[in-house]
Amino acid sequence: MSLLTYPMLEQKYVVRSKVDRDERVETELLTMQQCCSVGLLAAMGLMAFSASADADTPPKAVATIGMIADVAANVAGECVAVEAMMASGVDPHLYQASAGDVRSLQQADAILYSGYALEGQLGEVLDKLSEKKLTLAVSSEAIATDDLITTQDVYGIDPHLWMDASLWAKTAVVIADTFSEVAPDCSGDMQARAQAYQDQLVSLHGWIEASIASIPESQRVLVTAHDAFAYYGRAYAIDVAGIQGISTESEAGIADIRDMVDTVVERKVPAVFIESTINPRTVQAVIDAAADKGQVIKIGGELYSDAMGEAETASGTYIGMLVKNTLNIVEALGGQPAAFPDALKDWAFSWGVDIAEN
Ligand SMILES: [Zn+2]
């Protein structure tokens, strides 16, 4: 009952921070202050990059996070070339634009980002570009205010909306609308692909819901390093507890860890989870402190919270990210995955993923 194989297939979009790696090593990363001090923001206002107008070259879109880029690539087909700025394992809360990123954004015909302060360090760059570029704050455009989870911290709104597949499904259509502005001839095809992809995500939603429901109720609690899973918990009826808050900008303190130990001991939680974008030491601290109280807890595996898995693997797709997370959670907490939906069998086949049913 696990993902068996991840054959290498050609990725549908370019991951910018991967292709950019050599340049990144050489280029000092630009914080906004550094950015402004070297006049980069001013230069952005002066440089007149035009939209790529070559008839044979599709228009280009840059998406900040992989979860947006993958939806966009599924919608775009061959009509728009989609590039992801942040690679696997990159934390969007902390990510700072490199000079190469800024160049890439300037050359884009459309820019897609999450919004709700997820890309905290990119806010000023995105604001500036939105004055003269087609820019879409995907989360706020696609998802109704009533569906948002509010928080008591500086965020105000929890930005981790991709954790609820039924909500993230709604991003496909708004992305198709935006892409229709840069590739109008493709509009009908992109709307059709958006609808088909949305249907896949709705099926995914049902599969996650049924799989999580198989976990014994007392063990249905998801302990993670940071608060990225509130939407997942609400959508799939599992209690969630992050050791750290919504953002990863401040470290968890001793009190956070002590509170979490009390929770896991009280509920006899069998497993806690590490995240691909976050240092696992606070999770380990909870495990060690629980062991001192006689509660043996294992690490239930690594969850993809704020970035997808490696490019060119099943987990490097949005669907695969949620599938792999759900399989890890279900296995570690004593449940069984539900029968994989027919609507996702093409996806599973194309990635060589085989989810055995019990
Ligand atoms: Zn996060």
Dist. CA 275 → ligand 1 center (Å)? 10
What was the pLDDT predicted at 13?
A: 55
Dist. CA 95 → ligand 1 center (Å)? 12
Dist. CA 341 → ligand 1 center (Å)? 28
Residue 322 included in any domain: yes
Say how far apart CA 197 and CA 203 lie, in whole Å: 10
The last residue of a domain, from among 135, 156, 189: 189
Both 277 and 158 in a single domain? Answer: no
Dist. CA 273 → ligand 1 center (Å)? 14
Both 306 and 336 in a single domain? Answer: yes
Both 233 and 158 in a single domain? Answer: no
pLDDT, one tens digit per residue, over 49-68 is 444 455 679 999 999 999 99
Both 179 and 211 in a single domain? Answer: no
Dist. CA 47 → ligand 1 center (Å)? 33
pLDDT, one tens digit per residue, over 14-45 is 555 444 433 433 333 333 333 333 344 444 44
What was the pLDDT predicted at 153?
A: 79
Q: Are 96 and 121 in contact (CB under 8 A)?
A: yes
Say how far apart CA 330 and CA 308 lie, in whole Å: 19
Dist. CA 295 → ligand 1 center (Å)? 28
Q: Please provide residue 6's backbone torsions phi and psi, each rounded to the nearest 5 degrees.
A: -130, 80
The last residue of a domain, from among 159, 189, 219: 189
Q: What is the CATH number of the domain that holds 265?
A: 3.40.50.1980
Both 41 and 111 in a single domain? Answer: yes
Dist. CA 249 → ligand 1 center (Å)? 10
Q: Are 357 and 351 in contact (CB under 8 A)?
A: no
Dist. CA 271 → ligand 1 center (Å)? 20
Can you say how many angstroms the Cα of residue 86 is from the centroid of all Cα atoms in its chain?
10
Both 171 and 231 in a single domain? Answer: no
Pairing relationship of beta strands 298-303 and 110-113 according to DSSP bridges: unpaired
Dist. CA 138 → ligand 1 center (Å)? 16
Dist. CA 298 → ligand 1 center (Å)? 23
Say how far apart CA 88 and CA 72 lie, in whole Å: 17
Q: What stretches in the chain show pLDDT beneath 50?
A: 1-11, 17-52, 358
Neighbours of ion ligand 1 (CB under 5 A): 228, 306
Half-sphere exposure of 342 (CA within 13 A, CB side): 0
What was the pLDDT predicted at 35?
A: 38
Residue 220 included in any domain: yes
Cα→Cα distances 118→115, 310, 358, Å:
6, 21, 38
Both 317 and 250 in a single domain? Answer: yes
Neighbours of 263 (CB within 10 A): 16
What stretch of H or E contains 245? Answer: none
Dist. CA 5 → ligand 1 center (Å)? 28
Both 30 and 158 in a single domain? Answer: yes
Dist. CA 89 → ligand 1 center (Å)? 12
Dist. CA 248 → ligand 1 center (Å)? 7
Say how far apart CA 122 and CA 76 lie, in whole Å: 24
Residue 9 included in any domain: no
The whole-model pTM stands at: 0.83
What was the pLDDT predicted at 226?
A: 81
Dist. CA 228 → ligand 1 center (Å)? 5
Residue 194 included in any domain: no
Counted domains in the chain:
2
What was the pLDDT predicted at 32?
A: 35
Dist. CA 156 → ligand 1 center (Å)? 14
Domain that holds residue 223: 205-350
Both 176 and 236 in a single domain? Answer: no
The last residue of a domain, from among 189, 216, 238: 189
What stretch of H or E contains 241? Answer: strand 239-244
Both 243 and 287 in a single domain? Answer: yes
Residue 311 included in any domain: yes
What was the pLDDT predicted at 205?
A: 98
Dist. CA 307 → ligand 1 center (Å)? 9
Both 334 and 209 in a single domain? Answer: yes
Sheet holding 81-84, edge to edge: 14-15, 81-84, 60-63, 110-113, 134-137
Identify any residues that bridge with 113 across adjacent strands, giving them in sequence order.
137
Q: Are 308 and 316 in contact (CB under 8 A)?
A: yes
Residue 328 included in any domain: yes
Dist. CA 272 → ligand 1 center (Å)? 17
Residue 197 included in any domain: no
What was the pLDDT predicted at 12?
A: 52
Dist. CA 87 → ligand 1 center (Å)? 15
Residue 23 included in any domain: yes
Both 125 and 34 in a single domain? Answer: yes
Dist. CA 151 → ligand 1 center (Å)? 13
